[in-house]
Structure 1
Amino acid sequence: MRVYPEQLGRHLSPLAQCYSLMGDEPWLIENARSQLLEAARQQGFMERVSFEQDSGFAWADLRNEWQAMSLFASRRIIELTLPQGKPGADGSAMLTELMAQPNPDLLLIVRGPKLASEQTNSKWFKALDNAGIYLPCNTPEGAQFSRWLDGRISAHRLLLEPDAKAMLASLYEGNLLAAEQALALLSLLTAGRRVGGAELAQYFEDQSRFNVFQLADALLANQQERIAHMLAQLKAEGTALPIVLWAVFRELSSLLSLKSAQERRESMAPLWSKLRIWDKRKPLYENALRRLTLAQIEAMLALSSTIELKLKQAGEEDWTLLTHLCLLFDPRAHQQLVQLES
């Protein structure tokens, strides 16, 4: 059963047979794990053994532990880490076998990275899911991050003005650990006082973190303020310009293929699959296709080539020109920046 991390507290008594903590956000995974271990301790699970699927791991060891009697007649926790999120054929068979042997005195906690759809549709994952709880522990973005932040503000019993909340969201999006540390510090500093943005600004620096995939989504959605913030953070964190340019060029190339087919009145269906654009991201591309003309997309690709030439021929990382390129995802900018020089 899929349960989101903020809902975990409602699914701890009694504990399920298995909890799968899978995702790309370490803070969410560790927070969920801490809740599970505390609930398990209260319910009599006193022994704990850990396995990690590495070169020295044997699946038979997991079976032996599952079938062994406790030395101290207490309930036991087995933690299993799957670094790649793929147990392989032997592991898949073993997990399926063990989930068919329910044991109320054992708690299995499985940890691993964010899972793709083929993994969540696999036999081993469905066996774990049917026997317990699946927690997708992925970094929240946008509105999801705001909801997570509201929950943590309430948990720390902080009284923040709307401008202070907005500032925290801007400073810490994508960096849950830093956000949690900031909230813990605020709870000590403010002692129940209501805090506004002006006071908050005295305490914290910008700790948000972004990656080029988040930037790509923001470009397609034409979120200009967010784009400028992301670019500044990526540059400040030392992200190489070629990586950012690659992400922008990839989206422009996809848009060119889609817009060209649209202009020719061809079916878009084969292209979605060919370009590996899944249903979740289709609205972003449809938004951009309505907004941008074919000529504008071609002009943006030409500008991206100029940036690449400056990089390859002169070794120059032109972040200013890259910023101009990103601004051009807004069609209004084409009228103002048409005279860009290389």
Structure 2
Amino acid sequence: MRVYPDQLVRQLSPLKPCYLIFGDDPWLCETSKRTILDQAKREGFEERIALTQEAGFNWRELQDEWNSMSLFASRRIIELHLPQAKPGSEGSSQLQSLMQQENPDILLLITGPKLASEQTKSKWFKQLDEKGIYIPCATPEGPQFQRWLQTRIREAGLNLTQDAQQLLLSLYEGNLLAADQAIQLLQLLSPSSQITAEQLQHYFEDQSRFSVFQLADCLLANQQEKAQHILAQLQAEGTALPILLWGQFKELTTLLQLKQAQEAGTPLQSLWSQFRIWDKRKGLYQGALSRLSLNQIETALASASKIELKLKQQGAEDWTAMSHLCLLYDPKAHAHLSHIELG
């Protein structure tokens, strides 16, 4: 059964035989794990055995731990970490076998990175998911992050002005760990009085973390202010410019092909699966296609090619030109900037 981290507390009584925590957000993974362990301790699970599927890992060790008697407590927790989220054929068989050997004195806690959709369809995962609870720990974005942040502020008993909440949102979007640490610090600095945006600016530096994919989504949605902020953060974090260019070529080439097909009279509905565009991104592409002309998309692609050529010929990462390219997603900016040749 799939349960999201914010719903986990309501699904812990009684405890299931197995919990699967998979995801790339360290704060959500650790918090979910701690929530389960705290409940397990209340129910008498006091001994913990930690296993990691490393090179040469012997799956028989897991079976032995499952069958052995505890030396220190009547109930035990077996933590199994799968660094690649791939137990292999032997591990898959072993995990399925364990779920058929009911042991109310053993709690199996499996952790690992984010699962691909095909992994959640595997036999071992389905068997464990049927017996236990799967907690996907993906970093919330946009409105989901805003809701998460507001919940944490409320739970911490803090009184932030609307401007202060927006500033906190801007500073820490994509970094739950840093956001939670900031909230804990605010509890110490100002536990009862109202906190303004001006006060926050004195306390914190910008620690938001973004990805190339978030930049692409912002540009498709023409959220220029946020896109420029993400671009600056990616540069500050040392993101290689070729990675950003890869993302831009991918999005602009897709836009170009969609626009050409659209102008040829092909309905967009018939193109989504062909270009592997899923439901959550269809609106972004529709907005960009209605906003940008074919010539504007071609100009943006040409601009990306010039940045790539400069990088290959001179070894220069031109972040100013990259910022210029991002602005070309806005038709108004495009009209003023498209003729400008950068270094």
What TM-score do the two structures reach when normalised by structure 1? 0.96
- Identify the residue that residue 43 of structure 2 maps to in structure 1: 43
Aligned letter for 1:33? K
Aligned residue for 2:111, secondary structure, equals strand
Quote how far apart the aligned CAs of 1:41 are: 1.0
Quote how far apart the aligned CAs of 1:122 are: 1.6
Aligned letter for 2:107? L
- Identify the residue that residue 146 of structure 2 maps to in structure 1: 146
Quote how far apart the aligned CAs of 1:321 are: 1.3
- Identify the residue that residue 206 of structure 1 maps to in structure 2: 206
Quote how far apart the aligned CAs of 1:271 are: 4.8
Aligned residue for 1:160, secondary structure, equals coil
User: After superposition, where does 1:1-342 map in structure 2 within 5 Å?
Assistant: 1-266=1-266, 268=268, 271-342=271-342
Quote how far apart the aligned CAs of 1:200 are: 1.3
Tell me the distance in 2 between the aligned counterparts of 1:275 and 1:123. 29
Aligned letter for 1:194? Q
Tell me the distance in 2 between the aligned counterparts of 1:270 and 1:50. 50
Tell me the distance in 2 between the aligned counterparts of 1:158 and 1:252. 43
Where structure 2 has 5 or more consecutive residues not aligned to the other structure, the ranges are none
Quote how far apart the aligned CAs of 1:315 are: 2.1
Does the Cα contact within 8 Å between 2:213 and 2:247 map onto a contact in 1?
Answer: yes
Aligned letter for 2:120? T
Aligned residue for 1:210, secondary structure, equals coil
For residues 70-120 of structure 1, the C-alpha deviation after alignment (integer angstroms, 9 at most, x for no partner) is: 233510101111111121222222212212222221111111111111111
Aligned letter for 1:52? T
Quote how far apart the aligned CAs of 1:193 are: 0.9
Quote how far apart the aligned CAs of 1:288 are: 1.6
For residues 179-213 of structure 1, the C-alpha deviation after alignment (integer angstroms, 9 at most, x for no partner) is: 11111110000021111111111111111111111
Aligned residue for 2:21, secondary structure, equals strand
Q: Root-mean-square deviation (CA), in Å?
A: 1.5
After superposing the two structures, state which structure 1 stretch, 58-67 or 41-50, moved more.
58-67
Tell me the distance in 1 between the aligned counterparts of 2:2 and 2:243. 34
Aligned residue for 1:253, secondary structure, equals helix
Aligned letter for 2:310? K
Aligned residue for 2:118, secondary structure, equals helix
Quote how far apart the aligned CAs of 1:265 are: 2.2
After superposing the two structures, state which structure 1 stretch, 195-204 or 267-276, moved more.
267-276
Does the Cα contact within 8 Å between 2:215 and 2:227 map onto a contact in 1?
Answer: yes
Does the Cα contact within 8 Å between 1:21 and 1:29 map onto a contact in 2?
Answer: yes
Quote how far apart the aligned CAs of 1:268 are: 4.9
Quote how far apart the aligned CAs of 1:270 are: 6.8
Does the Cα contact within 8 Å between 1:208 and 1:233 map onto a contact in 2?
Answer: yes
For residues 26-55 of structure 1, the C-alpha deviation after alignment (integer angstroms, 9 at most, x for no partner) is: 111011111111111111001111111111
After superposing the two structures, state which structure 1 stretch, 18-27 or 260-269, moved more.
260-269
Quote how far apart the aligned CAs of 1:276 are: 3.2
Tell me the distance in 2 between the aligned counterparts of 1:59 and 1:262. 54
After superposing the two structures, state which structure 1 stretch, 261-270 or 91-100, moved more.
261-270
Does the Cα contact within 8 Å between 2:45 and 2:73 map onto a contact in 1?
Answer: no
Change (3 A) 1:188 1:21: same
Change (3 A) 1:268 1:86: farther
For residues 115-138 of structure 1, the C-alpha deviation after alignment (integer angstroms, 9 at most, x for no partner) is: 111111221111111111111101
Tell me the distance in 2 between the aligned counterparts of 1:126 and 1:272. 29
Tell me the distance in 1 between the aligned counterparts of 2:105 and 2:282. 46
Tell me the distance in 2 between the aligned counterparts of 1:149 and 1:73. 39
Where structure 1 has 5 or more consecutive residues not aligned to the other structure, the ranges are none
After superposing the two structures, state which structure 1 stretch, 61-70 or 190-199, moved more.
61-70
Aligned residue for 2:86, secondary structure, equals coil
Aligned letter for 1:297? I
Does the Cα contact within 8 Å between 1:49 and 1:77 map onto a contact in 2?
Answer: yes
Does the Cα contact within 8 Å between 1:51 and 1:57 map onto a contact in 2?
Answer: no
Count of residue correspondences? 342
Tell me the distance in 1 between the aligned counterparts of 2:59 and 2:276. 35
Aligned letter for 1:134? Y
Quote how far apart the aligned CAs of 1:272 are: 3.6
For residues 253-300 of structure 1, the C-alpha deviation after alignment (integer angstroms, 9 at most, x for no partner) is: 111122222222235567544433333323322222222221111111
